Structure 1
Amino acid sequence: MADRPPLTRARPRPESARAVTVAPRPGLRGRLGDALFRGVAGPGGLESRRRVHGTPGPRWFAADRPIRVVHGDASMFPGGLAALLLQSLHPLAMTAVADHSDYRNDPWGRLARTSTFLAYTTYGAADDAQRAVDRVRAVHEHIRGRTADGEPYHAADPHLLAWVHSAEAYCFLTAHQRYGKRPLDAAGRDAYVADMARVATALGIENPPTTLAQLHERLDSYRPELRLTPQTREAVRYVLLRPPLPKPVLPPYLVLGAAAVSLLPDWSRARLGLAVLPRTERWCAVPAGTAVTALIRWLMPPPPPRRT
Structure 2
Amino acid sequence: MIPLLESWRRQLIGTFSNNAAEIPQWELELAKGDDVGHFGPESAVWAVHGSMTPIIAGVRALLLQALHPGAMAGVHDFSDYKEDPLGRLAGTIRWIFTVTYGDTHAAKSGSDWVLRLHERVQGEYVDADGVEQPYSANDPEIARWVHLAFTDAFLSSHQRYGGPIPGGPDAYVAEWAVAGELMGIPDPPRSEAELRKQMAGYDAQLRSSEYVQEALGFLKRPPLPGNQKLGYRVLFAGAVASLEPKHRELLGLRAPHVGPVTLPMTFPVKLVLGVIRFGLGPMGPSERSARERIARLAGRV
Whether TM-score is above 0.5 comes out as: yes
Quote the residue 1:141 is aligned against.
119
Q: What amino acid maps onto 2:156 in structure 1? A: T
Secondary structure of residue in 2 paired with 1:147: strand
Counterpart secondary structure, 1:108? helix
Corresponding position: 1:55 with 2:51 = no
Map 1:124-273; keep pairs closer than 5 Å. Answer: 124-147=102-125, 150-180=132-162, 182-184=163-165, 187-240=167-220, 242-273=221-252
Instruction: Return the offset for 1:52.
Output: 4.6
2:13 matched residue in structure 1: 37
Match of 1:306 in 2: 292
Paired residue type of 1:228: S
Q: Secondary structure at the match of 2:38?
A: coil
Q: CA deviation at 1:286?
A: 2.6
Q: CA RMSD in A?
A: 2.0
- Separation (CA, whole Å) in 2 of partners of 1:31 and 1:196: 36
Q: What is the CA–CA distance in structure 2 between the aligned matches of 1:129 and 1:173, rounded to whole Å?
A: 20
SS at match of 1:60: coil
Do residues 66 (structure 1) and 48 (structure 2) align?
no
| Distance in 2 separating the partners of 1:40 and 1:126 | 24
* Aligned-partner residue type, residue 113 of structure 2: R
Q: Displacement, 1:89?
A: 0.5
> Residue 299 of structure 2 aligns with which residue?
none
Distance 1:247 1:47, change over 3 A: closer
Tell me the distance in 2 between the aligned counterparts of 1:78 and 1:190.
21
Looking at structure 2, the residues matched to 145 and 117 of structure 1 have their Cα atoms a distance apart, in angstroms, of 24
**Cα distance in 2, alignment partners of residues 223 and 104 from structure 1:** 28
Residues 37 and 46 in structure 1, CA contact (< 8 A), matched pair in contact too: no
The alpha-carbon distance between structure 1 residues 134 and 53, as it changes in their structure 2 partners (threshold 3 A), is closer
Distance 1:84 1:35 in 2: 23
User: Are the structure 2 counterparts of residues 104 and 294 from structure 1 closer, same or farther at C-alpha, using a change threshold of 3 Å?
Assistant: same
SS at match of 2:42: coil
Structure 1: distance between partners of 2:236 and 2:208: 19
> In the TM superposition, what are the counterparts of 1:58-137 in structure 2 within 5 Å?
58=35, 59-137=37-115
% same residue:
34
Q: Secondary structure at the match of 2:15?
A: helix
Aligned to 1:21: none
CA distance in 2, matches of 1:216, 1:28: 45
Once the two structures are superposed, what CA deviation does each residue of 1:183-224 show, in whole Å capped at 9, x if it has no partner? 226x32111101111110111001100000100111111010
Distance 1:176 1:286, change over 3 A: same
Instruction: Quote the Cα distance in structure 2 between the aligned partners of 1:57 and 1:41.
Output: 26
> Which of 244, 255, 280 is equivalent to 2:262?
280
- Give the secondary-structure state (helix, strand or coil) at the position aligned to 1:46: coil
Query: Aligned equivalents of 1:246 and 1:39: distance in 2?
Result: 9
| Aligned partners of 2:11 and 2:225 also within 8 Å | no
SS at match of 1:152: strand
| Distance across 2 between alignment mates of 1:88 and 1:289 | 23
What is the alpha-carbon distance in structure 1 between the residues aligned to residue 249 and residue 266 of structure 2? 19
- Runs of 4+ in structure 1 deviating by more than 4 angstroms, as ranges, are 26-31
CA contact (8 A) 2:8 2:227 kept: no
Q: Which runs of 5+ in 2 are unaligned?
A: 297-301
Q: Distance in 1 between matches of 2:105 and 2:70?
A: 31
CA distance in 1, matches of 2:255, 2:235: 16
Shift, 1:50, TM fit: 4.3
Cα distance in 1, alignment partners of residues 244 and 84 from structure 2: 29
TM-score by length of 1: 0.84
User: Which range moves more in the overlay, 43-52 or 265-274?
Assistant: 43-52
TM-score (norm 2): 0.86
CA contact (8 A) 2:237 2:256 kept: no
SS at match of 2:187: coil
